[in-house]
């Protein structure tokens, strides 16, 4: 079990990349409380992508524990980690990763196809998708449009709706506001905070933009929690 009220905890985690640009990454102790909005700040090359990959279980550490909702990802098989990620984590990618020729509705409902537990929380998928679109400031009638025809700001909100549907306990957002101006960033974050709170979800957002700091419950510099070491080859 994780201690206190943490939804996420990394303890004595070490991961070592191999190859020409090999580097190691160590996290002694990091946690996020349930219901918290946390911003993880770091420059390019600071280990943010590796950090997120470890949390999501797409790579596994060479040592240490990664607890998400009291489950240690390092004890799960590859298949079980994939299922757990689909059930417990909603992801908002930097490039959104929408299916461009699929409708907005199909994009939003995609996690429910892979996660029976998230699907079980949704009484009416189409109505829930429509409600999320309204809550995130998207126009009426957008559900049937192809995702690839939308503006960047609209695609971003569709990606948020896809992450939120089925109320996963943890939402991870990887630089989701990097393509937006400051005013649009503020509006999007307010909408995102409102929906994560309504779902009872926790938000971890990773960014290089320190101007966003005042909007979060907690701000962490990745340099304060992650130690990186490079190998000479």
What gap in Å lies between CA 64 and CA 75, rounded to an integer? 11
Q: Say whether pLDDT at 181 is over 90.
A: no
Answer for the pair 231, 202: CB distance below 8 angstroms, yes or no: no
Q: Say whether pLDDT at 226 is over 50.
A: yes
Q: Say whether pLDDT at 50 is over 60.
A: yes
Q: What pTM value is reported for the model?
A: 0.92
Whole-number pLDDT of residue 4: 58
Q: Say whether pLDDT at 165 is over 60.
A: yes
pLDDT tens per residue across span 52-61: 999 999 999 9
Answer for the pair 48, 223: CB distance below 8 angstroms, yes or no: no
Q: Enumerate domains of the chain plus CATH numbers.
A: 35-61+76-221 (3.40.50.300)
Question: Apex CA 102: angle with CA 56 and CA 147, to 5°?
Answer: 80
Average pLDDT value for residue range 194-203: 93
Answer for the pair 169, 115: CB distance below 8 angstroms, yes or no: no
What gap in Å lies between CA 233 and CA 225, rounded to an integer? 26
Whole-number pLDDT of residue 230: 75
Give the DSSP H or E segment for 158: helix 152-164
Among 187, 211, 197, which residue's Cα sits nearest to residue 167? 197
Answer for the pair 22, 231: CB distance below 8 angstroms, yes or no: yes
What gap in Å lies between CA 47 and CA 38, rounded to an integer? 17
**pLDDT band of 231, cuts 50, 70, 90:** low
What gap in Å lies between CA 76 and CA 74, rounded to an integer? 6
**pLDDT band of 2, cuts 50, 70, 90:** very low
């Amino acid at each position: 079990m994780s201690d206190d009220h943490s939804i996420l905890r990394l303890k004595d985690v070490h991961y070592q990349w191999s190859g020409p640009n090999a580097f190691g990454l160590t996290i002694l102790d990091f946690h996020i409380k349930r219901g918290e909005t946390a911003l993880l700040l770091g420059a390019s090359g600071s280990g943010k992508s590796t950090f997120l990959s470890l949390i999501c279980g797409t790579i596994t550490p060479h040592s240490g524990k990664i607890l998400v909702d009291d489950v240690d990802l390092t004890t799960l098989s590859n298949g079980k980690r994939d299922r757990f990620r689909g059930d417990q984590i909603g992801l908002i990618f930097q490039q959104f990763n929408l299916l461009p020729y699929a409708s907005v509705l199909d994009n939003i409902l995609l996690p429910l196809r892979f996660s029976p537990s998230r699907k079980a929380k949704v009484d009416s998928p189409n109505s829930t998708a429509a409600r999320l679109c309204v809550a995130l400031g998207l126009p009426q009638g957008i559900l049937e449009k192809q995702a690839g025809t939308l503006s960047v700001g609209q695609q971003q909100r569709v990606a948020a709706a896809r992450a939120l549907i089925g109320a996963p306990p943890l939402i991870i957002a990887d630089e989701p506001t990097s393509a937006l101006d400051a005013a649009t960033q503020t509006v999007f974050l307010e909408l995102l905070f409102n929906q994560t709170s309504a779902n009872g979800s926790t938000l971890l957002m990773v960014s290089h933009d320190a101007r966003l700091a005042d909007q979060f419950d907690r701000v962490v510099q990745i340099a304060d929690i992650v130690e990186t070491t490079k190998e000479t080859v």
